[in-house]
Chains A and B, each alone.
Chain A
Amino acid sequence: GGELRSDCDEQLLITIAFPSAVKLHSIVLEGPGSAPDEIRLFLNRTAMGFDDAEAEEPLQALPLDEARRSGAPLLLQYVKFQNVSTLTLFAPSNQEESEVTTLHRLRFFGSVHDTTNMKEFKRV
């Protein structure tokens, strides 16, 4: 029901820390007309600022259009997203060129790394 709006200008920087390392397969993004027109992804970067995000080469850039912001999965380069603990999404501008960028929903699809299940752990 809620929505995410950019604060000072149209740029948006979202940092997501996963509880454990994951493999990411795709992203689903939903938003209105003022949704981002592009999403740049950075991997395992803590403390990233807007200046860094603008200047640096992203791991993958996803251009967005009318169709791709209404629930269609955006496929990631799966081999590059094998060990994701922190994901940074940077939206440089929006599709309406308005002051505020809006997001309604952001979903990630992927799998958790194989780790030791302590319930199955047996002493030898």
Chain B
Amino acid sequence: MVLEASFLCIDNSDYMRNGDHAPSRMEAQLDAVNLLSGAKTQSNPENVVGLLSTAGRGVEVQVALTGDVGQVLSLSHGIKIGGNANLSAGIQVAQLSLKHRQNKNQRQRIIVFVGSPVQEEEAALVKLGKKLKKNSVAMDIINFGEEAENAAKLEALLNAVNSDDNSHLVTVPPGPHVLSDILLSSPIVQGEDGAGAAMAGMGGGGGEGAGDFAGLAVDPNMDPEFAWALRVSMEEERARQEAAAKAAEEAGAGSAEGAAASSGEGAAAAPASDAEMAEAAGGAAAGDADEQALLEQALAMSMPGAAAEQPKTPATAPPAETPGAPVGGASETPASAAPPPSAVPAPALEDAVMAEADEDEAMQLALAMSMSQGGGGESTTPAPAPAPAPAAGDMSAVFQDPSFLQSVLGSLPGVDPNDPRIQSVLQKQDGDKKEDEDKK
């Protein structure tokens, strides 16, 4: 609800041809201009926005301050890509335009997109920032594209401008996400009063639709506190996914362990346990997997809490991002890679089980439990890939072997394999197995 005049400085240098922000940096930027100009003019009827380009033949004011978003949109699409961006000149021109705004009651704000390496020295930027602060101009910086290279300079510029937390820096790394979606949940659009501006953003964005809460059946106007909580958890989830993607990159895609770990963190709900199952089998077959890690994974799978927690995570995660997220991709790849060694897993697993028998009985039990669960799950679902199903069947067959179960149970301290209760359970399992086979 702040009455302000905003000037958008967009980067139209040759770097904007890069396609790392879908569909290209320039298009992503124009989409963000659409969102920002809509959000700014909607938040107060007297708000105005302007637009200038910092590269090309020099800094060029494309749209002088206006309340008409349509004008900004139509003229923004005529901007040509070329040359190198001149950040400080762009900011100075924007400041001059803001100084001559018609309504002096409007606060001044410059929103600058930086997608190419910043040429200026840090000291020069700090000096410029102080000048803006002195003239009470706020500044929002969107750092994308060359974000790592520019981070230090832009941070310094922001610190020079910032007073009373009125300026923000949003860093958007390349990825499957959309630039304007990130901005929608950033303080640039949210402003100081959160939900109020968010709904304005939705109205103005038009194409963005329900933005953050698409597919969640949540109306931020009805329950702002809930919407706020959702937004916070989304941001945390996004940060976590970024960290996981980075970790996966570092570990290297070739390593089976790395893939298993990243998929363990993936937010995909139903396929997750199946994928983990297949991976666990694949890892044992490869023989180089750490046995301890395998057991821990089995233990995690057999925990009753894990199953209950799984569906919660995707509910708070942005649904638009999950399928395209790098972690999602990672969890799919090993699952499809699993079928070839279909015959191998069962004996290899048995070996692993036998080898571990005298090491850690509790782990052993957990593995056994998870195996029987996995077998049940596979038989009830209509087996997506033909290969895993028989593999799982083999595994459950291992546990139907009474002599093997006897040896496993016998190795547990304080368990008498001849106890009538255990005997009855074993017999019951045997009966279940027969029923399953009848169904088949």
Chain A positions within 8 Å of B, measured between CB atoms, are 7-9, 11, 46-47, 49-51
Contact = CB atoms under 8 A, between A and B. Distances in A.
Contacts of A11: 134
Contacts of B130: 8-9
A49 B104 CA distance: 10
Nearest to B133: A8
Nearest to B130: A8
A47 B104 CA distance: 6
A9 to B, nearest CB: 7
Main SS at interface, chain A:
loop
B127 to A, nearest CB: 10
Given A49-B99, A51-B99, A9 B105 contact: no
Nearest to B106: A47
A7 B163 CA distance: 10
Contact of A50 (B104, B134, B163): B134
Nearest to A52: B99
B133 A7 contact: yes
A46 B104 CA distance: 8
Contacts of B133: 7-8
A51 B163 contact: no
A83 B99 CA distance: 28
Query: What 10 pairs between A and B have smallest CB-CB spacing?
Result: A47-B104, A8-B134, A8-B130, A8-B133, A49-B135, A50-B134, A50-B135, A9-B134, A49-B99, A47-B105
Interface residues of B, number: 10
Contacts of A9: 130, 134
Contacts of B104: 46-47
A7 B160 CA distance: 11
A48 to B, nearest CB: 9
Contacts of B105: 47
Contacts of B131: 8
A90 to B, nearest CB: 13
Nearest to A11: B134
A9 B130 CA distance: 8
A47 B105 CA distance: 7
7 contacts: A7-B133, A8-B130, A8-B131, A49-B99, A49-B135, A50-B135, A51-B99
Given A8-B131, A46-B104, 11 more contacts: A7-B133, A8-B130, A8-B134, A9-B130, A9-B134, A11-B134, A47-B104, A47-B105, A49-B135, A49-B136, A50-B134
Contacts of B163: 7
Interface in B95-123: 99, 104-105
Among the interface residues B130, B131, B134, B136, which one has the most CB atoms of the partner chain A within 10 A?
A: B134
A51 B105 CA distance: 17
Contacts of A46: 104
A8 B163 CA distance: 10
Interface in B136-179: 136, 163
Nearest to A47: B104
Contacts of B136: 49
B14 to A, nearest CB: 35
A39 B105 CA distance: 25
Contacts of A49: 99, 135-136
Contacts of B99: 49, 51
B105 to A, nearest CB: 7
Contacts of A8: 130-131, 133-134
Interface string B16-36: 000000000000000000000
B164 to A, nearest CB: 11
Contacts of B134: 7-9, 11, 50
Nearest to B160: A8
Contacts of B135: 49-51
A51 B130 CA distance: 14
A51 B131 CA distance: 11
Interface string B253-264: 000000000000
Nearest to B131: A8
B135 to A, nearest CB: 6
A9 B133 CA distance: 10
A33 B133 CA distance: 25
A118 to B, nearest CB: 31
